[in-house]
C-alpha cells in the first residue's frame, strides 16, 4: 500500500467583528483624582475633539464598563474608529490641570478576550 504525502490547507478568516474592545486605565500623577463614568467619557470626547476637531471626532464609542476606584474601563468602538480613539487617548495629558495618562492594556475584536490577561495569571 502506497502512502500519500500529507497535504495542508491554510484557512484565513477575515475579522467578522464590527467592533474592537479596549481595556484602558487612567493614571493621575498624584493618584488622588476621582471621576464619574460621565466625566471619564467626556475626557475622551474632549481628547478626540482636540486632535480631530468636531467632525473628525463625531464617531460613536461606548463605555461598556467603568470602575471608579481603579479608573478603568472597557470601551467598544467601530473598527474604523479604533486608530483615532487610540491616538486621541494617548495624547491626553491633563484633566482639570492635573497631569494624567491613559494606559491601554488590552485590545481585541472579541470582548471575551478581555476577561483575562495571560500576563497576570498565576501558575500553580
Condensed to tens digits (0 to 9), the pLDDT of residues 25-68 reads 999 988 778 899 999 999 999 999 999 999 878 889 999 999 99
Residue 46 included in any domain: yes
The fraction of the chain above a pLDDT of 90, given in percent, is 65
pLDDT at 90: 95
Which H or E run includes 45? helix 37-56
Give just the sign of the alpha carbon dihedral 89, 17, 60, 80: positive
Please tell me the distance from the alpha carbon of residue 121 to that of residue 118, in angstroms, as a whole number. Answer: 5
Interaxial angle between packed helices 37-56 and 82-91, expressed in degrees from 0 to 180 and rounded to the nearest 10? 110
Nearest one of 49, 118, 117, 123 to 84, comparing CA atoms: 49
pLDDT at 123: 65
Report whether pLDDT(75) > 80: yes
User: pLDDT for 94-108, tens place per residue?
Assistant: 999 999 999 999 999
pLDDT at 71: 95
pLDDT at 120: 65
Residue 8 included in any domain: no
For residue 98, the enclosing domain spans 19-109
Please tell me the distance from the alpha carbon of residue 118 to that of residue 105, in angstroms, as a whole number. Answer: 12
Half-sphere exposure of 102 (CA within 13 A, CB side): 23
pLDDT at 55: 86
Query: Total domain count for the chain?
Result: 1
CATH number at residue 23: 3.30.70.3250
SS3 48: helix
Amino acid at each position: 500500500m502506497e502512502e500519500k504525502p500529507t497535504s495542508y490547507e491554510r484557512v484565513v478568516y477575515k475579522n467578522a467583528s464590527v467592533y474592537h474592545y479596549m481595556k484602558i486605565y487612567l493614571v493621575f500623577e498624584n493618584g488622588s483624582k476621582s471621576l464619574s463614568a460621565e466625566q471619564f467619557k467626556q475626557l475622551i470626547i474632549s481628547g478626540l475633539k482636540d486632535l480631530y476637531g468636531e467632525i473628525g471626532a463625531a464617531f460613536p464609542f461606548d463605555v461598556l464598563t467603568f470602575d471608579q476606584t481603579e479608573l478603568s474601563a472597557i470601551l467598544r468602538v467601530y473598527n474604523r474608529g479604533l486608530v483615532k480613539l487610540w491616538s486621541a487617548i494617548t495624547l491626553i495629558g491633563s484633566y482639570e490641570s492635573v497631569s494624567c495618562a491613559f494606559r491601554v492594556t488590552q485590545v481585541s475584536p472579541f470582548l471575551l478576550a478581555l476577561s483575562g490577561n495571560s500576563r497576570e495569571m498565576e501558575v500553580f
